[in-house]
Amino acid sequence: LPIGFTFTYFGQTYSNIYVTANGFLTFNSSNQTSANPSNLFGTILKSVIAPWWGDLYIDCDASIQYTTTGTSPNRIFTAQWQNIRYDGDSSSTSQRLNFQVKLYETTNIIEFIYGSNTGTASSTSSRTAIGISNSVGGSGNYVNGKTGLSTDTNLYSSSSFPASGTVYRFTP
């Protein structure tokens, strides 16, 4: 997808981004299909922005939307996951998640913004990652979004979805 401006991420500039159904964005086309959130901390997938990376599913009630708003040099790219559920959760009371990523022109700030979390996950074994990783990947080349640490490889259960209104901000 076109970002709508040039965005600098860990010293590299990009004008396009890939948005995945599994709750993450990437600047690398080969990274688009992974449902394994442990990859955020590894060397396999690189240049990843993951507000809620897990094995997620888009059904008829869910969507992923994107837009670029504002005027140069203060535009904002927003990707939004709306009513996303965990793959395999298909009951009428399945947990539905809402979250966004915002990329800011000029400042290169990244924000994760969390909305409502409704229903209940049928499986508590599903795990997700929150954070960012750079183009090198691997140990020390990522930041855990919840703790801000580059050594924290914790994965989170569905019950750890951030409260509505929570914002995690990454400032270069």
State residue 100's pLDDT score: 98
According to the model, what pLDDT value does residue 66 have? 98
The model's pTM: 0.91
Taking Cα atoms as reference points, which of 78, 14, 29 lies closest to residue 6? 14
> What was the pLDDT predicted at 124?
61
Distance CA 70, CA 90 (A): 38
**pLDDT value at position 122?**
63
Strands 110-118 and 167-170: antiparallel
pLDDT at 18: 93
Cα separations in angstroms, 31 against 19, 87, 122: 10, 19, 28
Walk along the chain (172 residues) in steps of 10 and give the mean pLDDT of each run.
Answer: 96 94 86 76 83 90 96 98 83 84 98 90 74 82 89 86 95 91
CA 48 to chain centre: 8
Exposed/middle/buried for 76, CB within 10 Å: 0-12, 13-18, 19+?
middle
Query: What confidence score (pLDDT) does residue 42 get?
Result: 80
pLDDT of residue 30: 64
